[in-house]
Chains A and B, each alone.
Chain A
Amino acid sequence: MEKLLIAEFQNEYDLVDSVKAVRAAEVEVVDAYTPYAVHGLDKAMDLKSSRLTRICFTFGFIGLLVGVFGQYWVSAVNWPINIGGRPWNSLPAFMPVAFEVIILFAGLGTVFSFFAWRRLKYGKPGLQPSLRVTNDRFYLVMKQGQQRKSSAPVSEIVMAHHGKMVEN
């Protein structure tokens, strides 16, 4: 197994800058660990935008179908009852519930997809470089691969951005 290099930083700006520098030196960035969602780090790490948007849309669409056809089937097919002379298929009156079902499906569907995908589940202990990740430290985890010959070693790049290497 290849050795992982871990660098520690004190603020987000140093982290983002050194991610850019390290990537320029063709060192592979495995992951970063941060106490909050750092703005602009996704671009620096070149992360793809999420597919969760499409999942959310799909769940919402299923919700729309369930909401509209469910109410239609219940009110017009399975047991039609004349209530206040409204038509059996009272589409305008079905809209509020259909809307709520869309939101419910889309919201819960997205969140549980995220949990499943990212394997976040009840009680799993966190694996992290240090307990200070969730407090005030930023970590950068890199993989020592084929670094470009001309550039400085990783530790020097990190040092140049006010970071320090941490023992693995």
Chain B
Amino acid sequence: MVGHPLYKNIEITMSEKNFILETSLFKKLSMATIIGLITIIIGVFSSERIWPNILLAANYITGIGFAGMLFVSIHYVSNAGWGVAIRRIPEAMFSAFSVGFILMILVLLGAHHLYEWTHPGAMINDPILQGKEPWLNLPSFIMRVPVYFGIWFLLGKPILNHSRKQDESGDLEHKQKSIKWSAAWLYIGGITFIISSFDWIMSLEPHWYSTIFGLYNFSGVFNAGLAFMIILLIYLRRIGYLKVLKNDHLYELARYLLAFTTFWIYIWFSQHMLIWYANIPEETGYYLKRHAGAFGVLTIINIMMNWLIPFTILLFRKSKRTEKPLLIASAIVLMGHWLDLYLMIFPPLIGETPIFGLLEIGVVIGIIGVTLWVVLHSLSKWNLVPIKDPYLDESIHLHT
């Protein structure tokens, strides 16, 4: 293989170390995961508020997995070459799905605490909810959870497998097949994600509906995924891995992040403006809850964290190529996505005042720990760089 024009870069990438999850880091991450677990166990027996927290964690972590796969498949479908060198990181993010699945099953156990429509009493006096019963009923709701995850898993796994097999054989056929699986992933995976958002989050307020809601959640998820990738890449480079990573790669990712934070505010504005303008009682209730009092302040902070601050930072060419502003913007986006989900999930469940207590802190620590743990663990199992991808050379010599 060495010497073939397609693999003239093989020496460069052979020197690339494979990632090893060091014991000290492993210990820290498992500590964080255990803190999260303990919080959940204590919460289940002591507070109703744990359920929205678990739902948030499930959505957040599933989102990371979804965004990683989304990035990989967009990259394949558009026949792009620049990101090949860093592709293993979004590929590793796929493993977050499994954690999301477990948490979602936990959510099902507490569905009565979250979803008003699971109570027969609420249904009886409410003709509108009765009309929705064919969709919003517990058996089919439970059934749909494994269906969504099954689709994501079955369509996503072949993409990863082909990528890994190509490391061994270098066969071009793997790329062709990945492109096909990626198209299927984008099409079917995208639609299932939108429906799952309707299911898991929108039905928290079963009278309210918004056709853009799935896309709104989607835009936030992709932002968070990109930010997660940027932070992880910079971290890996700082501790001595991934020498092929150049600032040009970060620049491209930062451009994506800039574009998608703008997309997020676009979708946010579309939903908000149309509901505000038409002023129909069925719809405005959603925003009345979120614009009054302390939640109103959080709404403004949400816009700043998910759009205004990262947008302003990333607008400048220089900050898209420099580690520090990139880290700041990405960290703000990651926290902002948590707040975004908080504002989607919590207001109908906890009354008029937002709470950020020990339960939330514990679960957040758990989210960070477990996500990093599964992603880094999965990263350590394979070559850190897809060494025989035909576009690798193009990616290593990316020059923007």
Contact = CB atoms under 8 A, between A and B. Distances in A.
Nearest to B274: A92
Interface string B265-294: 000010011001100000000000000000
Nearest to B317: A53
Nearest to A39: B399
A31 B199 CA distance: 62
7 contacts: A40-B399, A49-B317, A57-B315, A92-B272, A92-B276, A93-B277, A95-B269
- The contact size tier of chain B is under 10
Contacts of A95: 269, 273
A54 to B, nearest CB: 9
| Interface size band for A | under 10
Nearest to B273: A92
Contacts of B269: 92, 95
Contacts of A93: 273, 277
A112 B372 CA distance: 50
Nearest to B318: A49
Contacts of B273: 92-93, 95
Interface in B295-331: 315, 317
B317 A92 contact: no
A40 to B, nearest CB: 7
Contacts of A53: 317
Interface string A90-126: 0011010000000000000000000000000000000
A57 B316 CA distance: 10
Nearest to B279: A85
Interface in B64-82: none
Given A49-B317, A57-B315, A92 B399 contact: no
A27 B273 CA distance: 61
B262 to A, nearest CB: 11
Interface of A: 40, 49, 53, 57, 86, 92-93, 95
A93 B315 CA distance: 25
Contacts of B276: 92
Given A57-B315, A92-B272, 12 more contacts: A40-B399, A49-B317, A53-B317, A86-B277, A92-B269, A92-B273, A92-B276, A92-B277, A93-B273, A93-B277, A95-B269, A95-B273
A95 B273 CA distance: 9
A149 B399 CA distance: 34
Nearest to A43: B399
Contacts of A92: 269, 272-273, 276-277
A92 B272 CA distance: 8
B307 to A, nearest CB: 13
B303 to A, nearest CB: 12
B309 to A, nearest CB: 16
B70 to A, nearest CB: 27
A93 B275 CA distance: 12
A53 B317 CA distance: 9
Contacts of B317: 49, 53
A93 B317 CA distance: 31
B286 to A, nearest CB: 15
Contacts of A40: 399
Nearest to A85: B279
Contacts of A57: 315
A53 B318 CA distance: 12
A67 to B, nearest CB: 15
9 closest residue pairs by CB, A with B: A92-B273, A92-B276, A93-B277, A95-B269, A92-B272, A53-B317, A92-B277, A95-B273, A93-B273
B93 to A, nearest CB: 33
A8 to B, nearest CB: 27
A85 to B, nearest CB: 8
A148 B117 CA distance: 84
A36 to B, nearest CB: 17
A57 B277 CA distance: 30
Interface string B241-256: 0000000000000000
A166 B362 CA distance: 75
- Which interface residue of A49, A57, A92 has the most chain B CB atoms within 10 A? A92
B279 to A, nearest CB: 8
A86 B278 CA distance: 10
Contacts of B315: 57
B394 to A, nearest CB: 14
Nearest to B315: A57
A66 B199 CA distance: 43
Interface in B140-167: none
A30 to B, nearest CB: 26
A95 B266 CA distance: 11
A40 B272 CA distance: 45
B99 to A, nearest CB: 38
A34 to B, nearest CB: 18
Nearest to A40: B399
A23 to B, nearest CB: 19
A53 B320 CA distance: 14
Contacts of B399: 40
A75 to B, nearest CB: 15
